[in-house]
C-alpha cells in the first residue's frame, strides 16, 4: 500500500509524467510485490524559482531532478528497499529517459495501524 509523491520542475509533457507513474508502479510491483492496481501517486510541478537542488554527496544533478517520497508499511527489509531504489533508477532511465543522477528517493516506513484507505477504517490494524 505505498503512497508516492513526486516533485519536479514544471514544463514536461503529459506523456513524460505518465511514464514516470508507469515506471514507479512497475518498480513497486517488481521489488515489493504490491497488489495489482495499487497506484496511489501524485506529481507536483514547481516553477524554477520554487525548486532548488545542489550537488551534495558528489551527485551532479540537473533540472530534470525528481524528488520521490514513498511511504510504505514498515515491513520491508533493507534488501527490498535497496532493490527498489535500483529498479526505480533503472526504469526511469528507460522511460521517460531520466538520468540516475536525477532520481532522489526517500522512503518512509509507517506502521500498518497508521493507514486508513477509505471509509474511516483502520483496515490493516
Q: Would you name the residues annotated as active-site residues?
A: 2
Rounded Cα gap, residues 25 and 84, in angstroms: 11
Give the start-end residues of each E strand in the chain: 3-9, 41-46, 66-73, 103-110
**Please, which residues have CB within 8 angstroms of residue 85's CB and are 6 or more apart in sequence?**
105
Other Cβ atoms less than 10 A from the Cβ of 70: the count is: 24
Amino acid at each position: 500500500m505505498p503512497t508516492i509523491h513526486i516533485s519536479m520542475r514544471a514544463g514536461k509533457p503529459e506523456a513524460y509524467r505518465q511514464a514516470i507513474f508507469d515506471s514507479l508502479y512497475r518498480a513497486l510491483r517488481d521489488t515489493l510485490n504490491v497488489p495489482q492496481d495499487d497506484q496511489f501517486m501524485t506529481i507536483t510541478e514547481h516553477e524554477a524559482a520554487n525548486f532548488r537542488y545542489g550537488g551534495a554527496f558528489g551527485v551532479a544533478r540537473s533540472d530534470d531532478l525528481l524528488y520521490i517520497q514513498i511511504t510504505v508499511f514498515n515491513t520491508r527489509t533493507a534488501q527490498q528497499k535497496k532493490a527498489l531504489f535500483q529498479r526505480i533508477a533503472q526504469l526511469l532511465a528507460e522511460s521517460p529517459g531520466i538520468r540516475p543522477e536525477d532520481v532522489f528517493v526517500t522512503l518512509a516506513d509507517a506502521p500498518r495501524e497508521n493507514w486508513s484507505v477509505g471509509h474511516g477504517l483502520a483496515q490493516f490494524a
